[in-house]
């Protein structure tokens, strides 16, 4: 697993994500192991947010997260990457 990273999430949100996108945060956290991942920063709801596009279990995903104090990565959502996002990933 990614060194010095702790992962957390809201359990009801995890269940909603599984129902909506078929992706479990328990699996999605492994996106940070992809050496070819693409990370980008955004700003929403008065906080810095990040998105990462990478491969998990042979699927290209987009995972949104925030970083909390103590290098805690709080996962917000995880879904299959769009066509354009996959294209960006494969162009690296």
Mean pLDDT for the chain overall: 94
Architecture of the domain defined by 6-90: Roll (3.10)
Question: What's the Cα-to-Cα distance from 24 to each of 43, 47, 48, 90, rounded to whole Å?
Answer: 24, 24, 23, 23
Residue 8 confidence (pLDDT) above 60: yes
Residue 43 confidence (pLDDT) above 80: no
Binned at pLDDT 50, 70 and 90, residue 47 comes out as confident
Mean pLDDT across the stretch 71-90? 97
pTM of the model: 0.91
- pLDDT at residue 13 in the model: 98
């Amino acid at each position: 697993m990614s060194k010095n990273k702790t992962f957390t999430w809201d359990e009801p949100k995890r269940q909603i994500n599984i129902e909506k996108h078929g992706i479990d945060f328990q699996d999605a956290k492994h996106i940070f192991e992809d050496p070819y991942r693409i990370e980008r920063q955004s700003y929403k709801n008065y906080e810095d947010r990040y998105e990462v596009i990478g491969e998990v279990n042979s699927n290209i995903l987009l995972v949104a997260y925030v970083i909390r104090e103590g290098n805690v990565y709080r996962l917000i959502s995880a879904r299959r990457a769009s066509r354009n996002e996959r294209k960006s990933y494969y162009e690296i």
